[in-house]
Chains A and B, each alone.
Chain A
Amino acid sequence: DSGVTQTPKHLITATGQRVTLRCSPRSGDLSVYWYQQSLDQGLQFLIQYYNGEERAKGNILERFSAQQFPDLHSELNLSSLELGDSALYFCASSVIAGGRGGELFFGEGSRLTVL
């Protein structure tokens, strides 16, 4: 158990809909990362927050947004969903930013299926 909690574990929805994925980081971790894992794109970095502020942005679509709340949990909002958005979405947390040598602790992911 990494200490990172993601909900829901599985989600099935239709094209055009909007969903929210939730992540609770490990106790004490200020950084939260979102990654998308799909068969054709591999593990893609979406966005990182540190103590409520956006710190780094990756290949995140404009239809996607995220935020980190004062209690440090984070939400990833996916809107106008397309079939290609079907993927496993991982949240990770760390004390020190991964790019600066910190270890990332991953949740078990939220599997999104868009029909």
Chain B
Amino acid sequence: AQSVTQPDIHITVSEGASLELRCNYSYGATPYLFWYVQSPGQGLQLLLKYFSGDTLVQGIKGFEAEFKRSQSSFNLRKPSVHWSDAAEYFCAVGLNTDKLIFGTGTRLQVFP
């Protein structure tokens, strides 16, 4: 069955530390891949997306993600986390249909 997995429910990092949030998908073909962020009390906002081409994509707020076909992964990274990055992060995939499927999310907590 098609699925999107974010194995880390909750991650805690210190401000200034690097960050990597994991996302794996289970599909036969390469889907459209997205990362969204949800700040407390807000809707989701697109951080970045991958369609094709360069497997390292840059997004807003200093985030980047790397698509690895062999691992069916699309991990989100940031070299130095800021306290304002505390939020919930969702990986999402689209398979050239109208439906967009979200992972269960990873809650990021940042300590000063």
Give the chain B neighbours of A100 by CB distance below 8 A. Answer: 32, 94, 96-98
* CB-based nearest B residue for A9: B41
Residue count of chain A within 8 Å CB distance of chain B: 26
Q: Which of A58, A90, A98 contacts B92 (CB 8 A)?
A: A98
With A100-B94, A101-B94 known as contacts, the answer to whether A2 contacts B100 (CB < 8 A) is no
Q: Which of B12-49 contact A (CB under 8 A)?
A: 32, 34, 36, 41-46, 49
B44 touches A99 (CB 8 A): no
A99 touches B96 (CB 8 A): yes
A residues engaging B (CB < 8 A)? 2, 4, 31, 33, 35, 42-43, 45, 48, 50, 55-56, 58, 90, 92, 97-101, 103-104, 106-109
B residues engaging A (CB < 8 A)? 32, 34, 36, 41-46, 49, 51, 90, 92, 94-105
24 intermolecular pairs with C-beta atoms under 8 Å apart:
A2-B43, A2-B45, A33-B100, A42-B103, A43-B102, A45-B100, A45-B101, A55-B98, A56-B97, A90-B43, A92-B43, A97-B94, A97-B97, A97-B99, A98-B99, A99-B97, A99-B98, A101-B51, A101-B94, A104-B46, A106-B43, A106-B45, A107-B43, A109-B43
